[in-house]
Chains A and B, each alone.
Chain A
Amino acid sequence: GNSVTQMEGPVTLSEEAFLTINCTYTATGYPSLFWYVQYPGEGLQLLLKATKADDKGSNKGFEATYRKETTSFHLEKGSVQVSDSAVYFCALFHTGGFKTIFGAGTRLFVKA
């Protein structure tokens, strides 16, 4: 079945460091891929998305590229800020169904 695997956290970085959070997926066909973020005390928010192979999603300095050959959608940011501290969820949606499938989440701590 469809599934999402993302790197375990927590990830602890200093401010202005480079961030990568790995995400790989298993699915037939061409799912849509998402990164959601959950800030402390808030609900899940869509961070970025990509709907077809080689698409790059970007928002707030974060980027992720839909790589079908490696079934990956790694999240990157060149220079993290303390305000980026949150839990990040990789997710996929497969047309033909109604459910979004989430990874387990990766907690990011950014130190000043």
Chain B
Amino acid sequence: GAGVSQSPRYKVAKRGQDVALRCDPISGHVSLFWYQQALGQGPEFLTYFQNEAQLDKSGLPSDRFFAERPEGSVSTLKIQRTQQEDSAVYLCASSLAGMGPGTEAFFGQGTRLTVV
């Protein structure tokens, strides 16, 4: 596709419900990132994949958060037993190569998750 695509764009979940957020990166992009953006804040790093390997998951806030990229392309971020503090915009980004100085990442429009 032309850019990074995320779905759904909006998701309302009841507290305790599980959710799955999808990211389709730009075709051929090696690196994929997930970020969480709270209202009025900058994006906060969650996790990083290089192809199918999850090389950094240090930003995942709890063991309720899980991400996968089984075939090195599409990625899914899963949140189990959602809590109100999980309400945020979840951003996916991809880049052509592995991360290095000046590497540009291309961002999707995000999924806005609201937990009620």
On whether the two chains bind one another, the answer is yes
- For B102, give its contact among A32, A44, A99, A101 (CB under 8 Å): A32
B72 CB within 8 Å of chain A: no
- Indicate if the CB atoms of B104 and A46 lie closer than 8 Å: yes
* Interface segment out of the listed B13-21, B62-70, B105-113: B105-113
Mark A1-13 against chain B: 1 for CB-CB distance below 8 A, else 0.
Answer: 0001000000000
Give CA–CA (A91, B91) in the complex, Å. Answer: 15
**Given the interface contacts A42-B109, A43-B108, A98-B48, does A104 sit within 8 Å of B103 by beta carbon?**
no
- Indicate if the CB atoms of A99 and B56 lie closer than 8 Å: yes
Give CA–CA (A70, B50) in the complex, Å. Answer: 34
The interface size of chain B toward A, counting residues with CB under 8 Å, comes to 29
Query: From residue B97, how far is it (CB to closest CB) to chain A in Å?
Result: 12
Give CA–CA (A5, B31) in the complex, Å. Answer: 26
Query: From residue A39, how far is it (CB to closest CB) to chain B in Å?
Result: 11
- For A104, give its contact among B40, B45, B102, B104 (CB under 8 Å): B40
Interface residues on A, range: 20 to 34
Tell me which residues across on chain B come within 8 A of A44, comparing CB atoms. Answer: 43, 91, 93, 107
Tell me which residues across on chain B come within 8 A of A46, comparing CB atoms. Answer: 104-106
**Given the interface contacts A44-B107, A93-B103, does A101 sit within 8 Å of B91 by beta carbon?**
no
Closest 9 CB pairs of A and B: A102-B42, A99-B45, A98-B48, A44-B107, A43-B107, A51-B102, A43-B109, A98-B56, A51-B101
Chain A contacts to B: CB under 8 angstroms:
4, 32, 36, 41-46, 49, 51-52, 89, 91, 93, 95, 97-105
Chain B contacts to A: CB under 8 angstroms:
3-4, 31, 33, 40-45, 48, 55-56, 58-59, 91, 93, 99-110
